[in-house]
Structure 1
């Protein structure tokens, strides 16, 4: 597929990187708040589309995982937005609990300051 067709056409042709992954940015469908960033391979993308629950590729374990499979803090997908060159996704989801493994609502609970990290959201 040509770059022009990928960037302007209506055919979904996900563009995975050399490791077979693409970036997924998960946002709360109700508030727009960024919840987490993870990676999807073909298997995770297919499972997400099939089940309606966000699935990702665990780079540390090298396996498929469904967000919340052990904690119950799943992400029910409402909509998936595809970027212009189809190598990144924005996944709008309804969270069933905290998105971060630390127990924080979002993985982005700190902000970068001059001398380090400052808490921005109570975890």
Structure 2
């Protein structure tokens, strides 16, 4: 944990810090990424987890449109650029260690490339995994050029 995040453990509500300084102290992984959980801002529904690099996070904060880093394509991925299922940023929060993000978003349509509202549609218990949600949209109709995200 960085000294900055350690110092924030006792910070009072209302204390303000420079975003650049906070991003300098973030614990980016070896690939320069941080996990980002997208949660529907008004219902609390967890929609997806993706990765952001600093450029994606800065773009998201500046534009209000959520941008991730696609590890498979090794480039920025603006949510909805091929599917039209855009995520608008409502709020962004870093966790106490500076190694994870929670994004409050307004999701238009399904968040998952399978056409489901949430990527978390496989319920697990000790014996089974169960699909508990149907696609809202046929994934073949969501994407142009076969690009699934």
Contact 1:53 1:66 in 2 (8 A): yes
Aligned to 1:63: 75
Question: How many residues of Structure 1 are paired with residues of Structure 2 in the alignment?
Answer: 122
Identify unmatched segments of 5+ residues in structure 2.
Answer: 9-15, 136-149
TM-score (norm 2): 0.76
SS in 2 for 1:36: strand
Q: Indicate the structure (1 or 2) with the bigger Cα radius of gyration.
A: 2
Aligned to 1:42: 54
| Bigger strand share | 1
Greater helix percent: which structure?
A: 2
Distance 2:72 2:86 in 1: 20
The ranges of structure 1 where at least 4 consecutive aligned residues each deviate by more than 4 angstroms after the TM superposition are none
Aligned residue for 1:92, secondary structure, equals strand
Cα RMSD after superposing both structures: 1.5
Take 1:46 and 1:36, find their aligned partners in 2: how far apart are those partners?
Answer: 19
How far did residue 49 of structure 1 move?
A: 0.8
**TM-score normalised to the size of structure 1?**
0.91
Q: Distance in 1 between matches of 2:78 and 2:7?
A: 31
Distance 1:28 1:3 in 2: 29
